[in-house]
Amino acid sequence: MKNVLNDHVVVDGHRIATGRHGQGTPVVLIHGTPAHAVIWRAVTPRLVEAGCQVHLFDLLGYGKSERPTAYGTSVAAQGRVLEALLDRWDLKTVHLVAHDIGGAVALRYAVTRPERLLSLTLIDTVSYDSWPSETWRKIISDHLEKFAAVPAGEMRELLTRQLKMAVHDESRMSGEVLEAYLEPITGAIGQPSFFLHQVSHYDSRYTEEISGRLGAINVPVQIIWGMEDRWQPVSWAHRLAKDIPGARLHLVPDAGHFLMEDAPETVADLVNHFVREPRR
């Protein structure tokens, strides 16, 4: 399994696992949940080959980044991490590419800090009140501590089912790929961390509070969506495309929520084309 992270940066006293590859056009990739930077492993080399300098990282509390016990890892907090990383990387302006909950971070950044964005690519992102699902809403409100303490075997089975739902071709989510996703969110450290740093922050207020400001986004935007997404149905993509002025919408057939697993070549090609000529 290719490791796309090769460095780290300390932000606000917390270690963030980071990666930097290639030279050229600056592109920053943000993953979602339940994932980490591994989801970009097949996209990154294609962007590098096309002349991009790719920066990526594990969100605070995710993957190989630090798992703080007394520091929030909400969407708002991740936005502050993003800002600090751009400063540390000395990136005045960037092309931002974001997936799932990372898309919520990116949308908020586009609303509040548009001067730092050359373009924004949203991939199967959460938005409005599209998240969390009814199942996770109930777990969060009624049974969060109970689920955080379920036996390890049951948790692996639950998360395996969830991860297989994230791809259209379930055979892609097996073997070492499946293990790469499970490793940071299972076990004695990963399981409680998953609930503390990820699930407990599934909160649509972070996207709902900016939904009325999407029409003011003044950077080039493209939206890429798997047509078979079972977590964020394609209707949300159409709504975003309608509300964000000039947004380009690309629907990818035979692909699910983890679009970078089902169709990495398509994602890389669309991102590369857009950052080369991101005009509306």
Alpha carbons 158 and 231: distance in angstroms, whole number: 15
- In single-letter form, the type of residue at position 3 comes to N
Residue 176 lies in a domain: no
Sequence length of the chain is 280
Please state the rounded mean pLDDT for residues 122-130: 97
| pLDDT tens sequence across 11-66 | 989 999 999 999 999 999 999 999 999 999 999 999 999 999 999 999 999 999 99
For 192, the 3-state DSSP assignment is: helix
Residue 223 lies in a domain: yes
Q: What is the CATH number of the domain that holds 251?
A: 3.40.50.1820
Residue 20 lies in a domain: yes
Residue 160 lies in a domain: no
Alpha carbons 20 and 247: distance in angstroms, whole number: 28
| pLDDT tens sequence across 68-86 | 987 789 999 999 999 999 9
The DSSP bridge partners found for residue 98 are: 30, 122
Query: Over 70: is that where the pLDDT of 127 sits?
Result: yes
Q: Which domain holds residue 92?
A: 7-131+206-276
The DSSP bridge partners found for residue 16 are: 9
Residue 48 lies in a domain: yes
Residue 36 lies in a domain: yes
| pLDDT tens sequence across 138-182 | 777 776 777 767 888 988 998 999 999 999 999 999 999 999 999
Q: Write out the two tokens for 94.
A: 């960037």
Residue 146 lies in a domain: no
Residue 178 lies in a domain: no
Query: What is the count of structural domains for the chain?
Result: 1
